[in-house]
Amino acid sequence: MNYRKQIETLARLLRKSERCYVLTGAGISTDSGIPDFRSPGTGLWEKVDPIAVSSLDVLQSNPRLFYEAGFSRFARIALAEPNLGHYALAELERLGFVKGLVTQNIDGLHVKAGSRKVWEVHGHLRSGYCMGCGKRYSFEELVNQVELKRIPPVCSSCDNVLRPDVVLFGDPMPPFFFDLQQKIYEECDFMLVVGSSLVVYPVADLPRLSGKLAIINRQPTEYDQQAEVVIRENISMVMTDLLRKIETVQ
């Protein structure tokens, strides 16, 4: 199936769907300057072991290492801006073709782009909190303390270590995730996966709970054989073309 036919097929699937949910991963944000995790030669996890520097265990046992070795990546991600793929998904939601968006990304770019119904299942970089008393902080406060060499950043009320509002290795999934699983199972008649290799569980199990499936991702996934269409092209281009096509396809 050539690219034009793939876009047409995807547009028809989306138009005929009553309750489409989108699942996005790191691949949608590469055009915003954020490397993904597994692409050969460029993936973040080829260069650094996240469990060695950015896990809950490291944060609890060696918070200085967590902030000195891994936090700069979070700070860079927080500065990124949405790309055409993010804006296209927000517009598809506004037009009524997308009922909700589940993202594995912590970059907050879907929210910045205007998507409204977003489940950030791995957290976000808009805020943080004290691991002792739970006092809330802006993410900028964590960045400011690190830039001032207050490492690790600590709470002004109890002097315990602060942490960002992200799901680290070793953290449980947020409580809303289990309600989300049920919602997908009961409502989703079509899932569009965008930029996810579908290897990180339990999020990678969500496509199994949906009806029909389509995948836009540079690398193969274990769900490719089950998908109605698989597109391995630049995501910003695909989403822009899909947005244009959906207005004309029947």
Choosing from 86, 110, 122, 124, which is the catalytic residue?
Answer: 122
Residue 122 catalytic?
A: yes
Secondary structure of 130-178 in the HEC alphabet? Answer: ECCCCCEEEHHHHHHHHHCCCCCCECCCCCCEEEEEECCECCCCCCHHH
Q: Do 198 and 219 touch, CB atoms closer than 8 A? A: no
Q: In what order do the strands lie in the sheet with 162-166?
A: 136-138, 123-130, 162-166
Residues in the chain: 250
CA distances from 144 to 104, 133, 175 (A): 26, 20, 30
Q: State the Cα–Cα distance between residues 79 and 102, nearest whole angstrom.
A: 21
Half-sphere CA count of 229, side-chain side, radius 13 A: 22
Q: Sign of the CA dihedral 247, 29, 63, 67?
A: negative
Tokens at 128, concatenated: 């943080």
First to last CA, the chain: 19
Q: State the Cα–Cα distance between residues 150 and 218, nearest whole angstrom.
A: 40
Q: Please enumerate in sequence order all residues whose Cβ is within 8 A of that of 235, keeping only pairs 6 or more positions apart, or say none.
A: 27, 28, 30, 31, 85, 194, 195, 216
Give the residue numbers marked as catalytic.
122
